[in-house]
Amino acid sequence: MPPILFLDIDGVLLSSRAWLLPANQELLVRSTGLTRRQSTEMIGRDAVFDPCAVALVVRICQVTNAQIVISSSWRYTVGLEQTRAKLREQGLTEFLFHQDWACPMVRHGSPDKNADITNWLAEHGIAHYGTWLVLDDGNVVPGATLGIDGLDGLGIRDAGAAVRFFGSVDAALGVGPLADEDLDQIVQAFGGDRIEACRWLEGADDRQPRRQRPSALFTQGSREEALRRLTSAAAAYAKCRRERDYALKVLLGSNET
């Protein structure tokens, strides 16, 4: 089975940046005074997605052979058929989608993307981590979500991290070959978090220029510098994880009392 890319829309393809497009600015004006339902229908029909973000999704699929499954809340608000029509209109061609192209809507009253994705995976007998990835501006499935900045939407470094996650390379995205032992060492440094390792390699958080990305350092003869950065990044990641786990423990303890 090909890799699966669970795709969000708001914050990924339709980011805050995309809302600055002239057509979307006009859409905001036209939607003033409408009911929420009317506004949602208008957005589903007339909104313009970020063409660069759309092109990057297409690129990920072309390079990795991944198939798209829609996990966006548009399934609930805009509707399945209008969502699919809009995605095709904006450049995601039919062959990119999985045959079962949308997650089931499990909880209609209060949408739960995590539950929807979990159910889709269960229905298709997929349990192996590393064969599927969630692109979303929220941490929908902890440990399996490549978080996107909802202000900027899907960027080239995010796309590079997704390609790296699925074990592929792409010169156009700056994702070059990496020795298996190096990748294993990096993933281990991040506590087994493959997504975080791939994000770090492609400079997704630090906005590194292509030549200064850790992945480029590994392949251009600057391995020691890359390992030095890895030590620092892994320590920061471990500290953040400890603080998060402690906060969760305190929260759970207060709820019990």
Last residue of a domain, one of 155, 175, 195: 175
Q: What is the per-residue pLDDT across 42-85, written as a single tens digit (0 to 9) for each?
A: 999 999 999 999 999 999 999 999 999 999 999 999 999 999 99
Domain shared by 168 and 227, yes or no: no
- At residue 255, the pLDDT reads 65
Domain shared by 203 and 99, yes or no: no
Last residue of a domain, one of 175, 210, 239: 175
Domain shared by 137 and 153, yes or no: yes
Domain shared by 249 and 199, yes or no: yes
- At residue 186, the pLDDT reads 96
CA distance 237 to 227: 15
Domain shared by 136 and 248, yes or no: no
* Average pLDDT for the chain: 93
* Cβ neighbour number for residue 222 with a 10 Å cutoff: 16
User: Is residue 61 exposed (0-12), middle (13-18) or buried (19+ Cβ within 10 Å)?
Assistant: buried
Question: How far is Cα of residue 79 from the mean position of the Cα atoms in its chain?
Answer: 22
Q: Is 117 helix (H, G, I), strand (E, B) or coil?
A: helix
Which of 106 and 21 is assigned the larger pLDDT? 21
Domain shared by 199 and 123, yes or no: no
pLDDT band at 257 (very low <50, low <70, confident <90, very high): low
The closest of 52, 50, 116 to 80, measured between CA atoms, is 116
Q: Are 133 and 8 in contact, with CB atoms under 8 Å apart?
A: no
Structural domain for 13, as ranges: 1-175
* Cβ neighbour number for residue 186 with a 10 Å cutoff: 24
CA distance 249 to 29: 46
Q: Which of 5-19, 52-66, 128-142 has the lowest mean pLDDT?
A: 128-142
Q: pTM value?
A: 0.92
Q: What is the per-residue pLDDT across 189-217, written as a single tens digit (0 to 9) for each?
A: 999 999 999 999 999 988 778 889 999 99
What's the angle, vertex CA 151, arms to CA 129 and CA 159, rounded to 5? 40
Last residue of a domain, one of 175, 204, 239: 175
CA distance 145 to 150: 14
